Amino acid sequence: MNIENYRESPVFYGRRKGRRLSKTGKLSIKKGKKFLIKKEDLKNFFKLKKNIILEIGFGDGENLVNSAKKNSEYFYIGADPFLNTNAKCLNKIIEYNLNNVMIWPDDIRKILGYFPLESISAIKILFPDPWPKKKHENRRLIQNEFIETIYPIIKPKGTITIATDHDILKTWILEKFQGYKKFEWIVKSSKDWQIRPNDCFKTKYEIKAIIQKRKPNWFIFQKKHILS
C-alpha cells in the first residue's frame, strides 16, 4: 500500500457502536466533550504538552485511566473509535477529575501524520484485535506502514509496548518489528515477555485471555538511534 493512502484514508474494520448507550453513557459523552482531541487543535497541543504517552485501542480505559492517575508528570492520549468504550473511559476520567489525559475518539491512523517528529515518549497497544484469518491479515493494526509512520514520532530511545494473547499475532508482531530493523526488541529473558510490565495495568482483554487459558505476552520495542 502507498504510505500516503495509508495515512489519508485508512479503512477501519472494527466496531464503532455497540448496544444503545445507557443514560450514564450518554451523560459521559456529553460531559466529557472537553476531553476530546480535535484535529485542528493538534498543532498547539504538542507545543503545550511534554512527556506524552499514546495508548491505541484503550477499550474500557483501565490502563489509560490508571496510568494517568498514577503518573501526573505524563500526559496521556488515548485513541479508540468505539463509542461505548469511549463513554466508559470518559466516565472514569470525569469521576477521577483527571487533567492529564485526552481522547481521540476515532481511528488513530487519521491523526498520526499530524504528530510532530519525536513528540511521543511511549506507545502502548494492549491486546489489539488479532484478525486471525489469513484473508483478514491486512486488517491488523500492526503493518509495515504503521511501523514506518510511528517511527519518526517516537522520541529517541522511546518505546512501543504491544500485548497479545494470540499466537498468530505474537509471531506477526515479532516479524514485523524485527523486519523493520529500526526498533530493538528489549528482552533479556523469557520473563520479559511473559510478565506484564510495571507500567501497564490489567485490562478487560487480559482478564478474558487468562480465563480462557491463553497466555498473554508483552513485547517492548525501543527506537534505535540510527546515524544518518
Ligand X SMILES: C[S@@+](CC[C@H](N)C(=O)[O-])C[C@H]1O[C@@H](n2cnc3c(N)ncnc32)[C@H](O)[C@@H]1O
Report how far residue 112's alpha carbon sits from residue 8's, in angstroms, rounded to the nearest whole number.
Answer: 10
Query: Which residues have C-beta within 8 Å of that of residue 115, sequence separation ≥ 6?
Result: 42, 46, 153
Least distance from ligand X to the Cβ atom of residue 218, Å:
11
Q: Smaller CB distance to ligand X: residue 129 or 145?
A: 129
The DSSP annotation for 169-189 comes to HHHHHHHHHHHH-SEEE--SS
Q: Smaller CB distance to ligand X: residue 58 or 115?
A: 58
Report how far residue 8's alpha carbon sits from residue 118's, in angstroms, rounded to the nearest whole number.
Answer: 21
Q: Smaller CB distance to ligand X: residue 75 or 162?
A: 162
Contact 214, 150 (CB under 8 A): no
Q: Smaller CB distance to ligand X: residue 53 or 141?
A: 141
Instruction: Tell me, rounded to whole angstroms, the distance of Cα 40 from its chain centroid.
Output: 21
Q: Which of 41, 107, 129, 167 is catalytic?
A: 129
Query: Which residues have C-beta within 8 Å of that of residue 63, sequence separation ≥ 6?
Result: 55, 124, 126, 200, 201, 203
Least distance from ligand X to the Cβ atom of residue 55, Å:
8
Is 129 in the active site? yes
Least distance from ligand X to the Cβ atom of residue 9, Å:
13
Q: Which residues bind ligand X (CB under 6 A)?
A: 12, 14, 56-59, 79-82, 85, 107-109, 126-129, 141, 203-205
Least distance from ligand X to the Cβ atom of residue 78, Å:
9
Contact 192, 220 (CB under 8 A): yes
Active site residues: 129
